[in-house]
Structure 1
C-alpha cells in the first residue's frame, strides 16, 4: 500500500513527464512548419480539403491539427495561474526534495541525498588514504633494497658513541647525516662540527627533496607537506614584524607570529598629507594615535607652531635612545609615556652604530657620538633576520623539527599523513 509520500512523488513525476512531452511536441511542430508558415505563401495552387472541417475556416483541413497543436503550447498563462511549488511554504512534516542531474534527472529526498553525499565523501577519503599507505609501503621497501645494494650493510656510523643512532650515513655538501625514521629524517652525525647553516636549505638526494630544519637536519618534503596541510602551526605570542610594519605577511595563516590588524604602523601618506590614494584598501593604519605616530622634531626644539600637528608632542632629549619596539613594529603600546624616542630610524644603528638586521629598509643616520662608542667595543651579536620567524643561525623558513616530528611516525604503519612517500634511493 503506497504512502502519502509515494503518492506525492508519483504526482510530481507525472506532472514533470507531461511538461516534457508538451515541450517536445512544441519543438517538433515549430521546426516542421517554421515560424512564418502561411498556406497562401505556397503559390496560387489550392487543393480543397476532401472533408470540410468546421473548426478551421479559410485554410486546408489537413493542417488544422497543426494549428491546434501550436495553440496548445501557449499555455504559459495556465501554468502561471498555478502557484509554483517552491514558493509554497513547506510543512515541517512534509519531506523536501532535491533535483540531481547524474546521467539523468533525478528527484531525491533531501535526507537521502545528504546521507549518500556524506558516505561518498568518506569513501573517497578512505580510498585516497589507502593509496597513500600502499605507496608508502612500496617505496619504503624500495628504499631499503637500494640501501642494501649500495653497501649500506657495511656502512659504519662515525659517531664516537657506543650506541649510534643509525648505522646508515649519507653525506650532503660535506655534512654527514645519519638516516633515521626509515629515511624520512636525516640527522647530523654527533661528531660533525659543521654549523646548522652548512646544511643546504633544500637538498635533492636521488630525486627526493629534503628541507633543512632549524637544527640543521633534513626532513623529507612529504612530511613538510603533511604538516602544512594539517595546519598545526605552533603560534608564538609575539607580533609579526613584517605584518606590523607593512600590513601584509607573505606567509599568511602559516606564520607562527601574531597578525594584529589593529596594531599596524601608520600610513606615511596619511600622516603627511592626510590623504591616501589607496583609501580603505590601504593595509596600513589611518588612525593617528600616539602609539603609532613618531615624535615631532620641531616640538623637541621648541619651534612647533602648528596647532593641528599630527605628530606626538613629548619631552625627549636628542640623546635618548631610539625605541626598538617602535622602530621594528611601527607601534609601541607605551605611546607618549615611552622613555625612548619614537622615530622612523633603525633602532640598532641609531643606538649602537651597527645594524645586523639583514635587508633592513629603515633609515640609518650616522652620529659621531654613537660611532665613537661603537668603535670602542666589539659586537658579538649574531645576524638577525628581517622576517618574523628569525632564528639565531638559520633562516626563518626552515622547518621546525619538533612540529614535524609527529608527522613522521615511528613504525611501518604510522605514515598515513605523508603525501609524497619519497625515500632516499642509492645507486
Structure 2
C-alpha cells in the first residue's frame, strides 16, 4: 500500500513538471517580438541582426509576412477600407460599389450613362422652372398641350410650362434639343429650349397685370414694377359685398362690375328673389373654377366666362395641394372633382375666349379691353420685356408705336 502511494506521487510530480515545461515553451513562441534591453546612446546592443553602431533594425524578423493591400469588405458594414495614394481610407459602401460598377462599364455603356445623366439634369432644371411658374402664375388659366400642363399668359401670347412628364414617351417632347413649333387655338407657336411657347410670326408685347396689385391694390415695387398696375383690374372689396366697407382708404375696388363680382349662389340653386342683386345671374358651361377670378379677383371674360366665378380654391378642386397653404383665403374641398379633372384635360382652346392676337385693331375694339384702357390712360408699358432665357427686348418709343395700359403693337 505504501509503495503504490509513492509511485502515484512520483507520477503526478512528473506530469506537473512536463506541463510547466511545455507552457514556458508555448509562451516563448507566442511573443511577437523578443525582449529588448534599452540603454542610452546610439551604439547600444541591438540584438543578433542589429548593428553595433548607427541606425538599423535589430531583433528578430516579424513572423507575419502577409501583405494586406486592401481588406475584403465586410458585407454587414456600411463602410469599406480602400487603399489610396495617401493611405487607407474608409469609404461609403454605396459609393464604393457605384465607382466599381462604373469602372467595369464598356464604352457604349458609359456613353449611355452620360446621356441619361444629362437628361436627368435637364429634368431637374425643368422641375425648378415649373415650380417657379406655378407660384408666379397661379392666377392664369391652365391648358394641356401634348399632355403637358401650361399657363396661358399675356392673353395667349406666351404659354409657360407648369409640369414635366417623367415617362420616356413624353420626355422627348418636353426637352427638345432644338426649337420646335406647334399649333394651338389657331395660332402657330414656337417653343424655346426653356419649354415656353411664344406666338410665331407676331411681334406683340402684352404686359401682364401685376398679381399683387390685382389682389390687394398695392405693390411694394411701386413704379419700378415691370408689370401693369391697372386700377380697373383690382379685386372687389369683400367688405363691400358683405354689407359695406368702413375703411377711409381702401385700396380694393368699390365698383361692382361683371368682371369682379362672383356668381349668385341662390341663382345657381334655381331661384333668386332679389331684383337688384349685384351678383352674376349666369349658368357657366363648365364645372371648373375660373382661376383668374378665384385667385386674382378679376376675369377679363366677365359674364361670358364659361367657368365658375366663385371663391373656391381651384387647386384643391383638381385634387392637388394648395400652394398658398394657411394664407389661402378661398374655401377648400375635401374631395377632388373628377368631372373638373376631365374637363381640364379635354378643354377646347376657344373656351378661353382669348382676343385675336393676329388682328391688332380688333384688340383695341374688344369691349373687354376698352374698359381697361380708358380707366387707366396714364399708364404706359415698361420699356423692357424680360424673357425666360434671360434676354431682354428693348422697345423704342417713337412716333410709330402705340402705347396703352395692356399692350404695344407696331
Q: Same fold (TM over 0.5)?
A: no
Range of TM-score over shorter length: 0.3 to 0.5
Higher helix share: 1
The structure, 1 or 2, with the larger RCO (C-alpha pairs under 8 Å, 6+ apart) is 1
TM-score, normalised to structure 1, is 0.31
TM-score, normalised to structure 2, is 0.33
